[in-house]
Amino acid sequence: MPEFLRFIAANALLANMDSFLSTGHNFYLYIHPDTLKAHFIPWDLNLSFGTFDWVGTVDEQAKLSLKQPYVKANLLTERVLRIDRFARAYRAEAERIAKTCLTREHFDARMKRMEGAIAQAERVANVPHKALPPKLPAVYDLRNFAAARYDSVMAQLTRKDEGYVPYWQKGFIGGRMQRPATRPTTKPVTRPAR
């Protein structure tokens, strides 16, 4: 259970919504042959940091709810987080990850190391890196996103904010392309029969 809670917390903190949290894919489920315990392994995180627009904007995903970081109905996560001791352990894990990985100092230092590695590779390969277009909104900058995500997580942990609850804004639901006209009510999303 601690590993599953860490898996959910890490995906939530990264706002990795093209994942188990919404689409139900981009992970492996490994069953250990000796213990027969299930292990969730993330895969394909290229749409992390709020860039999976089927469930909200980048700004909304920077404020992704810790209480419900998934699109309903995600029965396993819903049921696990309804159990108080698991919900507390999940929040503690989210706080630990945020305080060790998402602080401005830590994140900026990691970004500088990565930028240095990219610059060195460009010099060696003599291939310049193509920068993002300068007209993109500031939130697309990873440093800005990480800072906004950290602030939102801390506000949620201290109960000052509830965060953004994701829902299907567009995408495939029940095998059909769908785009709800309005934000859903608190009722669970019903999926059309196949």
pLDDT at 27: 93
Vertex 160, ends 159 and 162: CA angle to 5°? 70
Domain residue spans of the chain: 2-178
pLDDT digits (tens, 9 = 90+) for 13-48: 999 999 999 988 899 999 999 999 999 999 999 999
Q: Is the CB of residue 57 less than 8 Å from the CB of residue 20?
A: no
pLDDT at 188: 47
Q: Is the CB of residue 102 less than 8 Å from the CB of residue 111?
A: no
pTM of the model: 0.79
What six digits make up the tokens of 24? 């139900």
Greater pLDDT, 127 or 65:
65
Q: In the chain, what percentage of residues exceed pLDDT 90?
A: 65
pLDDT at 163: 96
Greater pLDDT, 102 or 189:
102
DSSP letter at 14? T
DSSP letter string over 131-185?
A: PPPTTS-GGGSHHHHHHHHHHHHHHHHTTS---BPP--SSEEETTEEE--SS---
Q: Which of 22-31, 141-150, 176-185 has the weakest average pLDDT? A: 176-185
User: What confidence tier does 149 reach under pLDDT thresholds 50, 70, 90?
Assistant: very high
